[in-house]
A and B are shown apart, each in its own frame.
Chain A
Amino acid sequence: GDSVTQMEGPVTLSEEAFLTINCTYTATGYPSLFWYVQYPGEGLQLLLKATKADDKGSNKGFEATYRKETTSFHLEKGSVQVSDSAVYFCALRKWYGTGANNLFFGTGTRLTVIP
């Protein structure tokens, strides 16, 4: 079945450190891939997305590239800030087939950035 696997957290970094959160997926067909962020006590916000292989999604200094050959969509940021502390979710959505109209999420990775 379709699934998303994220690196387990929590991840603790110092301010201005480099961030990588790994995400790999299993899906039939050609899904679109997403990163959502959840700040404490809030719902999910879309951070970035990529709809086809080799696409790069980017937003607020975060980037992720859709790698079909490795079925991955790793999230990166060159210099994290305290305000980036949140839980990050990788997700996929398919064009067709069972579950085509909803998102499949990973378990989330909690990031804490310390000053």
Chain B
Amino acid sequence: DTGVSQNPRHKITKRGQNVTFRCDPISEHNRLYWYRQTLGQGPEFLTYFQNEAQLEKSRLLSDRFSAERPKGSFSTLEIQRTEQGDSAMYLCASSSFRAQGAGNTIYFGEGSWLTVV
């Protein structure tokens, strides 16, 4: 079983540019999550999908952020008009709905580092 795959791993962009990150979850995992982690902090929830449906969005997800999972497999997270405050690591994670309850494991990718200059 391959793990959660994210790319690019690192992205440096100028303020005002758009960036897009891609996440490939563990195969057959129908839940996919995006988190953001800034230096010295724990990850913060951004949004989550069950199959292709985006079921929950955090207040952290401003209107410059959009996430999609068009076929219920891979997902993209796009940030428009980037700001320096968007600099962070963006983590993708996945889990299986078939494993019932809050104890089922959420598996994380290695993250995509974004630096906005």
> Which A residues contact B (CB, under 8 angstroms)?
4, 31-32, 36, 42-46, 49, 51, 89, 91, 93-95, 99-108
Contacts and interface: CB of A to CB of B under 8 A. Distances in A.
Interface size class of B (residues with CB under 8 A): 20 to 34
20 contacts: A32-B101, A43-B4, A43-B108, A43-B109, A43-B111, A44-B43, A44-B93, A46-B106, A46-B107, A49-B103, A49-B105, A51-B103, A91-B42, A94-B102, A95-B101, A99-B45, A101-B33, A101-B55, A104-B45, A107-B41
A49 B45 CA distance: 19
Interface of B: 4, 6, 31, 33, 35, 40-45, 48, 50, 55-56, 91, 93, 101-103, 105-111
Contacts, number: 65
